[in-house]
Structure formats: C-alpha cells, structure tokens
C-alpha cells in the first residue's frame, strides 16, 4: 500500500512538473522576431513585407536581387552546397554565386554564410536571428571583398 501511495505521489509530482514545464515553455515561446538590418542599410517596409511573407519562420532565405526580389532560395537546416539548387534566373541557373539579399528568419540562431561550399573561404559572421542584409553589394566578407553573387553555403550559429 505504501508503495502504491509513493507511486501516486511520484506520478502527481511528474504531472505537476509536466504542467510547470509546459507553462514555462509557453511563456518562453518567442514571438516572431522583428526584422532588423544587420548593417546601416535599411530595407523599405514593402521589401520587408515581401521578405517575411516569402521566407518561412525558422528558415534562412536568399534572393537573386537586392531588396528580396527574385526568390527565395530557402533552407531550414545548414546547407553546404548552393550549387545543388536550381534557380533559372541566377547567372548559373542555380543558387551558387547568386544571392544579392538575405534574411535570417530563424527563431534562435544566427547564420553565417560562406564564399565557398562546405563553409570554406571568406565568410560573413554572423547575421543575427531576425536580421537581413537587403543589398549584399554594400556589405563585405571577412576578407574585405563583396559577398554579392558569391554565397555558396551557410551554417547556423547557435
């Protein structure tokens, strides 16, 4: 009998813990991040609306042109090789060496993108969650050159 009672207490405790956990998770659930520019180049409200409607929450998205036009290429996970993804209006008809604007619609992590596949070459470290670069021609890689039409892979930095 004592054993059953202890089990019940344990079960009740587990239920309470589960309730407490679910409540705290609900409270901690972040609202979608407000889009902010990671550099000094602000996008127009119209461009931001387009970016947010095109790019699902928790994904990283890229567009062929500045201001989130012509795309997006979008990935939820890291992507080591943009050359595998078709986009007919890109110079090589794939997303490799094509992106001219990017938006990190992630909830939790920054994203870093690279000049070469598999995280190689120069990089942009790191675009915070909810942030965008509306015109990559105005930004620089780690080596000081332009990332415009040069992204070949990205990874999440959590």
- Residues lying near Ca ion in the complex (CB under 5 A) are found at 64, 100, 149
**CA separation for the pair 51, 105 (Å, rounded):** 9
Query: Of all helices (H) and strands (E), which one includes residue 14?
Result: helix 2-28
Least gap, CB of 85 to Ca ion (angstroms): 14
Q: Which one, 142 or 149, has the nearer CB to Ca ion?
A: 149
Least gap, CB of 148 to Ca ion (angstroms): 7
Q: Which one, 70 or 116, has the nearer CB to Ca ion?
A: 70
Q: Which one, 138 or 149, has the nearer CB to Ca ion?
A: 149
**CA separation for the pair 67, 47 (Å, rounded):** 6
In the bound state, the residue with its beta carbon closest to Ca ion is 100
Least gap, CB of 136 to Ca ion (angstroms): 8
**CA separation for the pair 20, 30 (Å, rounded):** 18
Residue 7 DSSP class = H
Least gap, CB of 76 to Ca ion (angstroms): 22
Q: Which one, 64 or 112, has the nearer CB to Ca ion?
A: 64
**CA separation for the pair 99, 147 (Å, rounded):** 8
- Cβ atoms within 10 Å of 126's Cβ, excluding its own: 17
């Amino acid at each position: 009998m004592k054993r059953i009672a202890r089990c019940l207490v344990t079960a009740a405790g587990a239920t309470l813990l589960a309730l407490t956990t679910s409540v705290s998770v609900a409270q901690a659930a972040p609202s979608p991040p407000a889009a902010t520019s990671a550099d000094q180049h602000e996008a127009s409200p119209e461009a931001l609306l387009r970016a947010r409607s095109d790019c699902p929450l928790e994904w990283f998205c890229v567009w062929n042109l500045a201001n989130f036009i012509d795309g997006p290429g979008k990935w939820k996970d890291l992507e080591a090789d943009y050359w595998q993804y078709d986009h007919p209006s890109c110079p090589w008809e794939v997303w490799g060496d094509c992106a001219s604007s990017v938006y990190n619609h992630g909830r939790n992590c920054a994203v870093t993108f690279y000049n070469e596949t598999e995280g190689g070459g120069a990089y942009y470290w790191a675009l915070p969650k909810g942030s965008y670069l509306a015109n990559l021609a105005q930004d620089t890689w780690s080596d000081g050159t332009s990332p415009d039409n040069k992204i070949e892979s990205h990874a999440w930095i959590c």
